[in-house]
Structure 1
Amino acid sequence: MIKLSVCIPVYNFDVRELVYGLKKEIESQNLSAEIILIDDFSDWKSCSLNSEIQDVASVFLSLDKNLGRSKIRNLFLNYAQGEYLLFLDCDGKLIQENFLKNYINFLSKNPLTDVLYGGRKVPAEIPDQKHLLRWKFAVERENLSVGERKSHPYLSFQTNNFVIRQNVLYKIPFNVSYSNYGYEDLLFAMDLKSENIIIHHIENPVLNNDVETNEVYLEKVKESVASVSAMLKNNAVKDRISDIKLVKAFGKLNFFPLNIFIVFFFKISKNFLEKKLLHGNKSLRYLDLYKLGLLFKLMK
């Protein structure tokens, strides 16, 4: 029987509903699975709420400093007992019946599987304007059907809901040089691709239960573009992100004097673009222009 280690990095979020839901399925289905929580130095409020489930999880570890998105995922290897590790974001909500069983059934029928991604969704209801930007991006760019994901298995991979064989993660851990928000999941996917590790896709999504405000998401966008800039400046990894839409656009336009003009244009239009994005209900083309201008500025 396949044993699954459910690994949940926790940061400033009430994860009780997710953990209770997982525990209920494990017990009702008599699954061979464990739940491991590692709290990445959350605030006192989240720690207080989540202390309720310390005895529900097989392992509950609270860190005394923040490790970041990549290091903490690698840390689960020190505690997981399962042949496969299922990584879930702490803001995920279970919406699939037999969520864990769906993964276990696929792995049982396809024993050569090394990596498996189940997908993501956001609430169907359109949120208020203050939360619209992140929701629009998820709906238009991230919430892909399983067919769309299979056509681009590496580019459509995300780390919010995926299974990986333990020995594969030992061999190809997350790159700890890039622990901030943005594109660390794609770099990991491309590291897998470089080692000929196939990413399989099925329809087994979780709901993204925490859609950020426009202001918070825009700050994360800035952080993600900074990560791309750092990767492009690193000869060891820059070729692995060459298929990113933003990187492709940068490569096509990065020649003199157009690059100088783009930096100048971004300087004078930055406030205008930010105002449009913070309004929330504008086309994502504004976001594309903003990210491209910011990348040119960081790369000059």
Structure 2
Amino acid sequence: MISILIPTYNYKVLSLVSAIHKQLEITNIEYEIRVYDDGSPNPEPENDGINNFKNSVYKKLEKNIGRTAIRNLMASEAKYDWVLFLDADVLPKNSNFIESYVKAISNNNCDVIFGGISYEEVRPIREKILRWKYGRAREAKSVTLRQKEPFFIISQNLCIKRSVFLQANTLLENHYGLDNFFSNQLKKMNTKVVHIDNPVIHFGLEENDKFIKKALKAVESTVILEKKELMDDDMRPIQKSYLKLKKLHLSSVFSLIISTFKTTMERNFNSKNPNLFWFDLYRLNYYIKLKKQHNA
């Protein structure tokens, strides 16, 4: 009935597989678990134990092919019509995590089911505060809030028909922030997306500087995909904000003002209380600069 697909890279996933396997065994459904290591230079030895679990496969790729390509490979090799993608650095929040997805599949005529993302309540160390605060404010949304933008999904916890995923996951290049592209694809395909309260807890928090770099890389990806006409230019909040500024002929003025505060903002992002509104302005300013550079 369902294939659990977990790509990993330099990360221990035995505890995640154990938790998922335990839940699968009591649901009395047909299943498989596939864990593919994406060419880690030093694969975690404990992950070899995954092959000891029933209906489970642990495969190590010889070279790194990237996040979207490995997901495409896993979906292509999956046995069942429904696939559940989980990131390596998550754990189910609830003991009925698998059961909730099984019920949702049975009770809904849909193509995609998104259970949501959550974060720990306890604040992490200062070096990881920005990622934690961003995740809790922008990603850990209730079902009600998610239903307002039904096509926006986060692939850390994504249950989807195998055929729909393969049809939507057409961009196999290595880019950051491709969940936005994938969400855009689901919208273009007019897929039926159901949101349920069935989150995973995201534990793999990047340090502030690394997260900032990844966030800016995601902005770059958006501009590149727009110029290639592979993504709508009004899908995400950052795009909508830009279009408003452009309509009012204020994008250059905005960029000039925000640039004067760039150093102050970066200092704040590494503080004990980073300002997410400033983070939005910081990324929007970068987006505007890229749009001008690319003449997009």
Query: Could you say whether these structures have the same fold, taking a TM-score greater than 0.5 normalized by the shorter chain as the test?
Result: yes
1:143-182 matched pairs, under 5 angstroms: 143-155=140-152, 157-177=153-173, 179-182=174-177
Q: Residues 190-223 of structure 1, C-alpha deviation per residue, up to 9 Å, x if partnerless?
A: 2112121111111111100122221221121121
**Residue 256 (structure 1) shift:** 9.4
In structure 2, the residue matched to 1:63 is 61
* Counterpart secondary structure, 1:225: helix
TM-score of the two chains, using structure 2 as the length reference: 0.91
- Structure 2: distance between partners of 1:232 and 1:216: 25
Q: Residues 213-271 of structure 1, C-alpha deviation per residue, up to 9 Å, x if partnerless?
A: 2122112112111111212222x2242x5131101111222379744444444544322
Q: Contact 2:48–2:58 (CA<8 Å) still a contact in 1?
A: no
1:131 aligned onto 2:128: yes
In structure 2, the residue matched to 1:237 is 230
Q: Contact 2:238–2:284 (CA<8 Å) still a contact in 1?
A: yes
Q: Contact 2:181–2:231 (CA<8 Å) still a contact in 1?
A: no
1:14 maps to which of 9, 12, 15: 12
In structure 2, the residue matched to 1:189 is 183
Call closer, same or farther: CA 1:296–1:280 in 2, change over 3 Å: farther
In structure 2, the residue matched to 1:213 is 207
TM-score of the two chains, using structure 1 as the length reference: 0.90
Amino acid at match of 1:228: T
**Residue 132 (structure 1) shift:** 1.0
Q: Residues 273-293 of structure 1, C-alpha deviation per residue, up to 9 Å, x if partnerless?
A: 211112241220110111011
* Counterpart secondary structure, 2:52: coil
In structure 1, the residue matched to 2:281 is 289
* Counterpart secondary structure, 1:113: coil
Give the unaligned 5+ runs of structure 2.
none
**Residue 169 (structure 1) shift:** 2.1
- Structure 2: distance between partners of 1:84 and 1:125: 34
* Counterpart secondary structure, 1:151: coil
In structure 1, the residue matched to 2:49 is 52
Q: Contact 1:214–1:280 (CA<8 Å) still a contact in 2?
A: no
Q: Contact 2:117–2:202 (CA<8 Å) still a contact in 1?
A: yes
- Structure 2: distance between partners of 1:200 and 1:186: 17
* Counterpart secondary structure, 1:59: strand
Q: Contact 1:131–1:280 (CA<8 Å) still a contact in 2?
A: no
- Structure 2: distance between partners of 1:24 and 1:229: 43
Q: Contact 1:93–1:207 (CA<8 Å) still a contact in 2?
A: yes
Call closer, same or farther: CA 1:266–1:54 in 2, change over 3 Å: farther
Amino acid at match of 2:175: N
In structure 1, the residue matched to 2:27 is 29
1:222-261 matched pairs, under 5 angstroms: 222-234=216-228, 236-239=229-232, 241-254=233-246, 258-261=250-253
**Residue 39 (structure 1) shift:** 1.0
Number of residues of Structure 1 aligned to a counterpart in Structure 2: 291
* Counterpart secondary structure, 2:36: strand
**RMSD of the TM alignment (CA)?**
2.0
Q: Contact 1:87–1:161 (CA<8 Å) still a contact in 2?
A: yes
In structure 2, the residue matched to 1:120 is 117
Q: Residues 111-142 of structure 1, C-alpha deviation per residue, up to 9 Å, x if partnerless?
A: x2211000010001122222111111111111
* Counterpart secondary structure, 1:61: strand
* Counterpart secondary structure, 1:254: helix
- Structure 2: distance between partners of 1:266 and 1:43: 41
**Residue 186 (structure 1) shift:** 2.2
In structure 2, the residue matched to 1:274 is 266
Q: Contact 1:4–1:84 (CA<8 Å) still a contact in 2?
A: yes
- Structure 2: distance between partners of 1:257 and 1:243: 21
